[in-house]
Structure 1
């Protein structure tokens, strides 16, 4: 059984993971490339986001993947990249549902707090699995797709997604540990033996 304080701390940790998720989705830098340059040249920088591709050559970001990216030999890459976008968007929807679960448990009575940890931990686990799957697909594409050669790297968004699910894992462990190890709320205190 967990106390209101444990759920409060768990909620703040969860909100930190949500901020990391939103940042990883907003930045167009899951995979990037920066060319080696001499002192007189500006480096060429290209980066892929979930829904945008940015290039220093054009100086702007364009939607990605577009129709041309999803036909012919690139169909597999396009499908996988869109799957990553879907998984990350789905994890945001699940994070909203998890926030509602935390609110119900925190604002509810003692009975909600006694059993609510199972619901919160389950929701956190599903969000974590979605983010792990998205991160793993990007890493797989990075390792196996021909468009990523020497010089390309997994960038900030990928790292933020990884940190986000690790934070969720610590939240799951913390709430579960508190539920199993802490004494019940408003429980009787043992009377010390005066012998």
Structure 2
């Protein structure tokens, strides 16, 4: 593959995963995958659920309370040892899967940096880049499926009042974009191996023809 193709892929992978460093880290850390709003005795309560924490705010006519956040889910408060045991196990698994996805995205960036170093490496490393980007997308997709199923089936009582938030949307954008970038790397890499100039550049590989 030509250096321009690697540079474009590098930019795409940087954009796909970003909070401070990446979009995946942002979606993983944001406490607003699901947002529940309901009224209790004329006090509006807003609860934001993230993969790692839960934040709550109460707002009434005479009272305003800033967000109070805590880790989520917790063994006792969220009944992880009782009726919500399955929910807690699956929600925690979603956390692990998104962290694994971030790891593969970081490895993909390293592979890209190695790939742009020399022409010979660019010809070989695109397979690793494609594989890592797609693995990143797969793990983000698994997280999305788990959270979606828990939300859709209201496995946690408060989810009855919940709606998807920014973290949920960012995760969806992440895995969709990841599959698109991975497919683009594969198509470009295969074309470069076949000697197409648009993919391989001026130094495209040409097999030596027999006499």
Q: Would you say same fold, with TM above 0.5?
A: yes
* Shorter-chain TM-score range: 0.7 to 0.9
Instruction: State which of 159, 162, 182 in structure 2 corresponds to 1:152.
Output: 162
Q: What is the match of residue 170 of structure 1? A: 180
1:18, CA displacement in angstroms? 1.3
Q: What is the match of residue 193 of structure 1? A: none
1:10-25 pair list within 5 angstroms = 10-19=9-18, 20-25=23-28
CA RMSD of aligned residues (A): 1.9
> Structure 2 length normalisation: TM-score?
0.80
Cα separation, 2, equivalents of 1:50 and 1:149? 14
> Structure 1 length normalisation: TM-score?
0.86
Cα separation, 1, equivalents of 2:189 and 2:90? 38
Relative CO higher for 1 or 2, CA cutoff 8 Å, sep ≥ 6? 1
Are residues 1:79 and 2:80 paired? no
Residues 129-153 of structure 1, C-alpha deviation per residue, up to 9 Å, x if partnerless? 0000000000000012151454311
Are residues 1:121 and 2:130 paired? yes
Are residues 1:186 and 2:202 paired? yes
Cα separation, 1, equivalents of 2:98 and 2:26? 11
**Which blocks of at least 5 consecutive residues in structure 2 are unaligned?**
59-64, 205-211
Residues 93-139 of structure 1, C-alpha deviation per residue, up to 9 Å, x if partnerless? 112211111111112x1111112111100011111100000000000
SS at 1:67's partner residue?
coil
1:178, CA displacement in angstroms? 2.0
Considering fraction of residues, name the structure with more helix.
1
Cα separation, 2, equivalents of 1:114 and 1:13? 20
**Which blocks of at least 5 consecutive residues in structure 1 are unaligned?**
189-195
Count of residues in correspondence between the two structures: 183
- Which deviates more from structure 2 when the two are superposed, residues 93-102 or residues 131-140? 93-102
Contact kept, 8 Å, 1:139 with 1:154, in 2: the verdict is no
Cα separation, 2, equivalents of 1:105 and 1:175? 12
SS at 2:70's partner residue?
strand
Q: What is the match of residue 152 of structure 2? A: 143
